Structures are given as C-alpha cells and as structure tokens.
Structure 1
Amino acid sequence: MTKNWLATGALALTMGMTATASYAQTTTVPGEQVGLATGAPLPEGIYALNTFVYRSNDVGAVDVGVNIPVLVWSTPLVPLGGRIELLVAPPTVFAFGKRGGPTGIKDLSINVGTFVGGIWAFDLGNNFGVSLLGGAYLNDLNGDRGVLVQNNGAFAGAPVLGQLSSNTYRFGVAGSYTGDGYNLTANLTANVYDSPGRFSGGGNTVGFGNTFGPFNISDSLNLDLTATKKFGKFEIGAIGYGTYNFDTSAFSLAAGDRGYFRMGGLIGYDFGPFTVQAYGARTVASATRAGEATEGWFRIIAPLYSPTPVAAAAPIIRKY
C-alpha cells in the first residue's frame, strides 16, 4: 500500500430532505472516512484529498451531494511518539430537485462551516495504529442555513441544515491494521453541539414558522468500517457505515431519526502520483423518517509534498 493511501481526515456533512423540512443528523457525513486507514500515522508531508458523495433518496423531493476537499499537514512533531497531523476542510452540500414543474425544488448549494482540527496518531508496531482526532466545524463563522425554493419562486422550507445553527465539536478515535496490503479500520466519530442553537442575523420568515431558532440539536455518533485488500495497484473490499442520534424527542431536529446503517463495496487504483477510490452502499437498517437510500462515492488522494526523497521513502512505502 502506498503512503498516499493512508491519507486521513476527509470531513463533511450530508442529510436527507423533503420539500418542507430537513432530516438533521451528524455534521460529519457517515461514511466519509471509509477507505482511509485513519488509525495509522501519515509520513511527514502535505496531502490533499477530495471526496464526493451523491445520495439518491427513495423518498423526498431532492437528492443530495456533498463535496469534501481536505488539506492535511503531517507535521514533524511526534510528542510521546504520536504524529501530529493538522487538518482544514471547507465542505459544501448540494441539493438536486427530482421533479420538474412549478412546485419542484430548485437546485441549491450550502456552505458548511470550515473544519479545523488535528489528529494525534500512533504507530503501535506490527502494522497496528491508533489515532485521536479533535476539532470543530466553524458554523457560526461561515456556515449557511439553506433555504428551499420551488421552481416558481415560492418559499418551500428553511432551514435546510438546522444543525449549522451551532458550531459542531468533533471528536474521534480510530484503529487500523495495514499489514500485507490490508486496510482493516474502525473509526468512531462524535459530534457535539451547543444546543439549542440559533442562526445569527435576520429573523424568522413571516408565515413559515421558526426559520431562525433556537433549535434543539441532537449529539450523535458515527461508525465507519473498512476491510479492503491491495492486489498490486488495485484495491478491493467491503465497507459499512452508520450514524446514531441521541435525542429523537419531538422538539429535536432529529425527531424520529434514530439513525441508519449502510453496507457496500470499495474499489481503488494507485496511479502513482495519486490514488482514486470509488465505493457504494445501500441502507440495510434504518430508523429514520428519510427512509432508505443509495450512496455513491468518489475520492482522489494526492501527496503534495514530502521532505523525504522518494528513494529513501521506499522502506516506508513497503512497510504498508
């Protein structure tokens, strides 16, 4: 496995929507860390990755896409033997109307607050690694609420992403085995909110209820699982991921949305200067109002800079 396959920390958000409401869930998109050996420390350097997901919902008036560009600096700092890696990511959410005509929903995009954070990753030996992550989505700084508008210009619903009325505080722990071309990784991610949250500026939209806040936001957990194997430059395997909301009471943005779990497969190819991965998953268990969905993912991983010459880096590459 080449070192750029270890790139870690793609950060984002996704959700299901109808024409009149959003289905709130964790700000970190479930499944966005699938395929990444997030428990293993990166070699020192700078890495870029971009992950895009398209969700086709079985019900509702829109499908959803999320684009997640991430820049990772794996620093030379190794306090107590753990590598410090710094992350920044500005995710964007897209909604695509599924119906034409005057009452169909217009396409729209929503900025998620920029994520800033860090990872402390340890090589435990024998190809095992573990990491801790901490950071925040700065939704109070530059996150949008999102407004649904019909093709005829009529207001359809807001906010689309009520959870962005609060900064999202993210914590994670991951473990990886990367020996013999395998990537066996489990990643647990928590999202914590200042609940209730309120959007700054403006007020409620007259005649359309509470579009301003405060909103009760559920804390949540994501679990991302990867089990893949490299065969030369090819990679193939199984993946699974899901989310769990703690507060599903009637006054919560996640009312009736306890969570879901999806399973599928992943393929990848190492082109040398960059690596690509594609994976897809389908709902296998669901306790949400949004119902079942199918998701397709595409990712590009590229190392931008390494202080270690390529020849000297070969032992590191072979190690993985």
Structure 2
Amino acid sequence: MKFNIAFRIGFVGLTSVGTAMSAHAFSFLQPGFTTGLPLYAIFPEGLYLINVPQYGVRNSKPSFDLAADSPFFFYQSPFDIGGAHLNMQFSPTYTISRVAGVATARGFYNTYFGIGASWDLGNGWYIGNRFAGFIPQGGAEAYHFGDLEERVGLTYLKDGLLFTITAVLGEPIQSGFRTAPNAFNLDLTLTQQFGKWELGAVAFGSTDLNKPNLTYAMQRQFALGPLIGYDFGSFTVKLKFTTDVAQQNYGRYDRRVEADMIIPVWLAQD
C-alpha cells in the first residue's frame, strides 16, 4: 500500500525521499504486498485472514521509516460464473510513519475493497483477475482521493512448489490539479515446501507510467530477497526480507521486512 508521509508537511519536498513505506512509486498498492501467496489458486469456501505486519526504512536525508499492519480479509465464495470461481477482499491498514527530525504521523490508510475471479487450468495452474480500489479517506496517513486497480496473474501450486506472478495497474481518481500518476507493479514469487518449512525468493518492481504535472519526478524501483515460512497447523507464517537493487528518484535504497500470517477464520462444512 502507498502510505502518505506527506501528511500536511510538504508533499513536494518529501517526494524525492519516498512518500510511502520504503521503495515504491505512487502505487496505492504496496509493491511486493502480494508476494509469497498462491494468489490465484482456488481455496475451500470460507473466510481467511492474511494479517500483514511490515516495517521499512530508507536511509535518505532525512531518513524515513514506516511500520504498518494490514488485516487482509479474503472470502472464497461458492459461486462460479462461466467457470470462474469468485472471491472478495477487504483490508484496512494502520500506519505509523516518521521522517527523522521532522515529524511523525499515525492513522489509517485508504481502505481496500476488491472482487476477483480465478480459473482452474488443471495440473496445478490457475489464472486470475481482480478489480479493486482504494476509497478516498481523511487523516494524516490517507489520501483524499481514491484509486482504481486492475490485477491479473498466474499461479502454479503443486507438490509443494509455488510460483506466482502478479501484474497490477493502478489509476488514481483525482479532480483538479493532479498529483498522482498511473502506476504499474509486478510481484514475483518462487518457493518450495520441505515438510512444514517453505523456502524461496520474492521480487517486485514498480514504476510510474506518466507525469501528472510538470514538477513530478517519475519514480521506479526493483527489489528482491528471501522468503522463509512455517506451517503451524492451524495457521501459517511467512517472513520476507527485501532490499532495493535498483531505484530512481527515491534518494536511497530501501530495506523491508514483512510477514504474512495466514489464518482460516471460517470454513464451510461439506
């Protein structure tokens, strides 16, 4: 998710630092957020909680860091339309962001809603599409305008091997003077299970697609790192550690640690 560190202390001056958690362009969706997950697989009907705490730091001048928690609710519905299995998502996010020696802000980020569909291609392969958005909100850590998001991707899940690729196109919905560009994210995951353990790697990139105004400096970045996970039986935890290997107009490289805590909340009875 894009977390707004501008919070009334000067958007233009902080854009070069990175106005959101660690490294990403103006994407509302935090680049890398979908990594580590079999995002387009079809699950048993039920409600799942994927809680995502994360912390990122950018050693810019001044330095910037942010802690956030996103309880992501995923409902796998029993409904099929034309072979597509439908699902729905909802996620609020709470953030605490800090520019060293300047200011600290805390509050809720823009709430996310989505509806998706997945198709089972057979032999462990799935494709999916999701239409979603972030609603406009007030507060120090939210944008007053919203964002529409189109997401497509591919998942392979078989014999403990997970591969997922997700492409995300976001379009901010603004009126008047535009401050946010359209943005594109690409998230990648490749992991293998060894008993209850899961080991692998994740990578993600993001880029602005246009300049909403003449003063905007387009940003892009690419990051990667390891993933380690463990299945505790009633829930699963995955830890991801990433760092930028390339960036433009962020000032410095970003380092981030993020966890996916996957908890089945309710499962339909057979």
- TM-score, normalised via structure 2 length: 0.88
Mapping of residues 68-147 of structure 1, within 5 Å: 68-98=70-100, 104-139=101-136, 142-146=137-141
Q: Deviations over 1:209-250 (max 9, x none)?
A: xxxxx3331000110000000111100001100111012465
Paired with 2:47 and 2:96, the residues of 1 have a C-alpha distance of: 28
Q: Hey, what does 1:240 align to over in structure 2?
A: 203
Aligned to 2:2: 13
Stretch of structure 1 that moved more, 178-187 or 282-291: 282-291
Q: Is the 8 A contact 1:13 1:93 kept in 2?
A: no
Counterpart of 1:177 (choices 151, 156, 166) is: 156
Larger radius of gyration: 1
- Matching residue of 1:200: none
RMSD of the alignment, in Å?
Answer: 2.1
Q: Does the Cα contact within 8 Å between 1:13 and 1:66 map onto a contact in 2? A: no
Matched, 1:168 2:147: yes
> 5 Å matches for 1:17-32?
20-22=13-15, 23=18, 25-32=26-33
Q: Assess if the C-alpha contact under 8 Å between 1:64 and 1:96 holds in 2.
A: yes
SS at the partner of 1:308?
coil
- For residues 270 and 175 of structure 1, the distance between their equivalents in structure 2, rounded to whole angstroms, comes to 23
* Paired AA for residue 74 in structure 2: V
Q: Identify, as 1 or 2, the structure richer in strand.
A: 2
C-alpha displacement of 1:66: 2.5
- Mapped to 1, the partners of 2:225 and 2:105 lie a distance apart of 28
Unaligned segments of structure 2, at least 5 residues:
20-25
Structure whose residues are more often helix by fraction: 1
Aligned pair 1:189/2:168, yes or no? yes
Change (3 A) 1:109 1:87: same
Q: Distance in 2 between matches of 1:143 and 1:122?
A: 37
Q: Name the SS of the counterpart of 1:296 in structure 2.
A: strand
Shift of 1:106: 3.5
1:69 maps to a residue whose letter is: P
> Percent identity of the aligned residues?
23
Residue 41 of structure 1 contacts residue 131 of structure 1 at CA under 8 Å; is this kept in 2?
Answer: no
Instruction: Report the CA distance shift for 1:260/1:115 in structure 2 as closer, same or farther (over 3 A).
Output: same
Deviation at 1:89, TM superposition (A): 0.6
Distance apart, 1:96 and its partner CA: 2.9
Contiguous gaps of at least 5 residues in structure 1: 1-11, 99-103, 147-160, 198-213, 310-320
In the TM superposition, what is the alpha-carbon distance from 1:15 to its structure 2 partner?
Answer: 6.4
Separation (CA, whole Å) in 2 of partners of 1:130 and 1:106? 43
Q: Deviations over 1:81-118 (max 9, x none)?
A: 111111111112321343xxxxx234321322211111
Distance 1:54 1:244 in 2: 21
AA aligned opposite 1:93: T
